[in-house]
Amino acid sequence: MIVPYTHVMLLGGVLFLLGMICTLTRRNLIMIILGLEIMLNAAAITFVGAGLHLQQIEGQAIALFILAVAAAEVSVGLALVVCIYRQTGTVDPQCIEGNKCQLKPDQTG
């Protein structure tokens, strides 16, 4: 006997929340992709837990597909980040759109 399914769901939910916070509040393209990875990982945990809860092997198969999609997504995403860094010299999303990161004093800090 392991824990109830609700606890696995809560763990997945908290992990997804952490990934969401990372994606929404960091100003760094690499950290944004890292947050996406955390969210995909949380989804995989929930799928494996649901597979055990329903006694189906399907959840593990979906977790494997999530793994493959995450690998493809992160490779293309990081290649884009490297491209952007070569062209603009920054990975800050606000500085990419040609305004050269001229922030007003009240926007910094």
Partner 1 sequence: MTIYAVFFYIIAALIIAATGLAITRKHMVHAVLCLVVSFFGTALLFYLLGAPLPAIFQVIIYAGAIMVLFLFIVMMIRIDPEKTHRFPLGHYLAAGGICGAYFVAAVLLTLLSGPRARQPMPAATASPFDFGYYLFDRHWLSIEMISLLLLVALIGTLHLGLGRVGRKQKKGGGQ
Burial class (CB in 10 A: 0-12, 13-18, 19+), 95: middle
State the Cα–Cα distance between residues 99 and 102, nearest whole angstrom: 7
Q: Is 100 in the site for partner 1 (CB under 8 A)?
A: no
> Cβ neighbours of residue 93 under 8 Å, at least 6 residues apart?
27, 29, 32
Q: Nearest approach, Cβ of 33 to partner 1 (angstroms)?
A: 8
Q: Is 21 in the site for partner 1 (CB under 8 A)?
A: yes
Binding residue for partner 1 (CB under 8 A) from 67, 98, 99, 102? Answer: 67
98: helix, coil or strand? coil
Identify residues 44-63 at the interface with partner 1 (CB under 8 A): 44-45, 48-49, 51-53, 55, 57, 60-61, 63
Binding residue for partner 1 (CB under 8 A) from 37, 43, 88, 96? Answer: 37
